[in-house]
A and B are shown apart, each in its own frame.
Chain A
Amino acid sequence: MGELSNKERMKLPKQEMPLHPGEERVKNFNEVPIGYSDEMAKQEALRCIQCKKPGCIPGCPVGIDIPAFIQLIEDGDYAGAVKKIRETNFLPSVCGRVCPQDKQCQMDCIIGKKGEPVEIGSLERFVADYEDKNNLRVLPDIAPDTGKKVAVIGAGPAGMTAAYELRKRGHEVTVFEAFHRGGGVLVYGIPRFRLPIETIDADLKLLEDMGVEFVYNMIIGRVLTLDDLLGEEGYDSVFIGTGAGTPKMLGVPGENANGVYSANEYLTRIYLMGANEFPKHVTPIVQGNKVAVVGAGNTAMDAMRTAKRLGADVTCYYRRAKEQAPARTEEVHHADQEFINWKFLSNPVEILTDENNKVTGVKCEKMELGEPDSSGRRKPVGTGEYFTDEIDTLVFSLGCAVNPILPMTDEVLSVNKWGIMMVDEKTYQTAREGVFAGGDTVTGGSTVILAMGQAKTAAENMHKYLNGEMPWSDAKVPTDPTWPGIIWDAPKPAKKAKK
């Protein structure tokens, strides 16, 4: 490629991720972004100026050595690039697709200050795809057996990461999952058009090949308790990664009407159970022609775009303004391209029904933006003006609460007033000796990558605990019921990648 000066590099245009056109993609569930070609990846890699103090690494919750892997792409060493990512992140294919890069690594990209940041996510996906296509997914080095047994509860991103990190260190790992398959939210909550299932299954297969044992249909807390795991079953330590799966309700009249779904139910019926292929898969979904989706987070976008693919006219109702939508910028953009109608500053106050309890309409209050609230966003305030739209299906996506079954069935574990599991903020130790937790269980609902970052830290600490290097008495588990849960403050000081 020759040697380009930084000035020259910064003049290179960003390589836009090629997408299937909106009108075509709403007819199927195929992945929307097509992926970079070799040439595009190399061109995009050239835009990285290899900063001495990169902003991107501290922006990454698992601390990937981003400039290093991009340099390897520039050098044409794609296998080396993915190997570099795998030093710190074992789900590059997932993260390249679903991470909110605009709020993490790409937010602090130095060249992004003047122009467009380097497309780190697209490059990560590119090398992960290269790895898959060329069957380069190799087993990591696994330390000799330690003789310690570890149980991981939940086979979602947090559990998968904890299992990977603990198995790598030579511990015997069993993952207990309540569903009939692994992947957690990656399967039941993220649409196939954003994350193909093959890539999740390849990651699960890698874990199995490493010797991690998966047991499905096991609802821990009920079929086996923590007492059982740490007692009779002989586990030395437990990681809880049960996620935040319990949907928050709308709290308006009519919320239990027929045709009103939580986004979890709606997406689970389709992506876990295959309702879009009914009756080949027998789980049904009943959806009319006019679908309202309430909320504007990533999950809301997923529900809207799914409803569109099932043939509906879809409208988003959100009580704040478009700029305040919590979804990834790219998701809003993609929804836009897929002919979603937007009704911002519209707050549903009632769901209208017919005599059969079937949803017929949604009544909303028009909102306007007032003073900033505690989140720093201007608070929506009611105008006293209302409007009613005819709809036949409503999906509400207002976030989730932590699944209560495990804390309900254990007397030692503690939760805050919102049900978030209380853990030591540095080590992820829970109130119960030997038990750690990470992911949405300790945040109340966040991103895949944050769950992975926490699970990784928790696993490192579990390893110390298992080696007798971490006395439990040092754990600082919060006791204040208003403790907010784990909050990630980016950026953190850059960590040097371990060799």
Chain B
Amino acid sequence: MSNKSKYSQSFKILKKKELCPDTYWYEIEAPYIAKKLLAGQFIIIRPKEHSERIPLSIAGWDRDKGTIHIIVMSAGYTTGELNGMGEGDCFSDIVGPLGVRSHVSKQDGTCVVIGGGYGTGAILPTAQDLSDLGNRVVGIVGARNKDLLLMIDELGEACDEVMLTTNDGSIGTEGFVTHALQKILDAGEKVSSVLAVGPVPMMMAVAAMTKPLGIQTWVSLNAIMVDGTGMCGACRVSVDGKTKFACFHGPDFDAHKVDFGELMKRQKMFVEKEKEAIEAYSK
């Protein structure tokens, strides 16, 4: 509709980089969103007019330049469609910042931030936030193999130390992010808080490990959303037996209270439709 507004944001892709196959980093023009983003918040993006509205974590921003950074892995139809867009293209709509800031404060011990796959982008702003508060921050990044590890250098700048894990041992510790976390604990380092962002099984494994140790652990939940503003409830998650909306109560929740099993099943609610869409548009 009306376009003359001083508030109109172009949502133009200024820069696009391939991080690993099917996974891209974007710098997008969105000055009003850039001005207000806090670590842990997210956006809802509708890549094209006919697209779904999907939530995406924020991997960073540049307030002066008026840009925001996202990392997108092609996982379904809409992320694939998004990754088909290139520099100079404009997204149809972006709304944000949404959700609340990550739970950060000055801690006695070390703060560990753990990223699995594309989730590594999402832990960057929180790592920086924790660092700025004067914490010792250790980053752990895990992937299946060394080619799938991403944002290592950027994370290195925000953390005091970064540990890598790969399932095949092609770089860093062989195994999972939990093995790296175990290493930190075995070294006798006091860990005060953990943030884990990535695939649900990874977040579950971290939560299961830290719970008996009583380490405060946060996870950022990537629930399915429509509006992202608390209006539809698609993102319902059970936390401590109570229904919460990931969009405005979260996206970060106490990992020891989240019903991950339910979340994983809810994430599969539309898989058949995803396939249908991919098929329909591949013709």
Residue positions of A touching B, CB distance < 8 A: 174, 176, 178-182, 188, 204, 208, 213-219, 222-224, 245-247, 249, 255-256, 258-259, 261-262, 264-265, 268-269, 273-274, 278-284, 286, 356-357, 403-405, 408
Interface residue B199 (Cβ < 8 Å from any Cβ of A):
no
* Contact segment of B103-111, B183-191, B208-216, B270-278: B270-278
With A217-B95, A268-B232 as given contacts, are A273 and B226 in contact (CB-CB < 8 Å)? yes
Contacts of A222 in B (CB 8 A): 36, 41, 96-98
Contacts of B232 in A (CB 8 A): 247, 262, 264-265, 268-269
Q: Which of B1-56 contact A (CB under 8 A)?
A: 1-2, 4-5, 7-9, 32-33, 35-36, 41, 46, 50-53
Instruction: Name A225's closest neighbour in chain B (CB-CB).
Output: B36
Contacts of A215 in B (CB 8 A): 5, 7-8
What are 25 sample pairs from A and B whose C-beta atoms fall under 8 A apart? A174-B5, A180-B93, A180-B95, A213-B5, A217-B93, A217-B95, A218-B95, A219-B95, A219-B229, A222-B98, A223-B36, A223-B97, A224-B32, A245-B229, A247-B231, A256-B236, A256-B238, A262-B232, A268-B226, A269-B232, A278-B277, A282-B78, A283-B53, A284-B276, A403-B229
Instruction: Name B248's closest neighbour in chain A (CB-CB).
Output: A405
The 5 closest A-B pairs by CB, nearest first: A284-B273, A357-B265, A265-B232, A245-B231, A180-B93
Q: How far is the CA of A408 from the CA of B249 in the complex (A)?
A: 11
Q: Is the CB of B262 within 8 A of A286?
A: no
Interface residue B171 (Cβ < 8 Å from any Cβ of A):
no
Contacts of B96 in A (CB 8 A): 219, 222-223
Question: Could you tell me the distance in whole angstroms from the C-beta of A213 to the nearest C-beta in chain B?
Answer: 6
Q: How far is the CA of A417 from the CA of B169 in the complex (A)?
A: 55
Counting chain A CB atoms within 10 Å of each CB, which of B8, B229, B266 scores highest?
B229
Q: How far is the CA of A403 from the CA of B98 in the complex (A)?
A: 13
Q: How far is the CA of A283 from the CA of B51 in the complex (A)?
A: 7
Q: How far is the CA of A284 from the CA of B277 in the complex (A)?
A: 9
With A222-B36, A286-B272 as given contacts, are A178 and B229 in contact (CB-CB < 8 Å)? yes
Interface residue B233 (Cβ < 8 Å from any Cβ of A):
yes
Question: Could you tell me the distance in whole angstroms from the C-beta of A345 to the nearest C-beta in chain B?
Answer: 26
Q: Is the CB of B270 within 8 A of A284?
A: yes
- Partner of A283 from B226, B230, B248, B262 at Cβ < 8 Å: B226
Question: Could you tell me the distance in whole angstroms from the C-beta of B23 to the nearest C-beta in chain A?
Answer: 21
Q: Is the CB of B229 within 8 A of A405?
A: yes
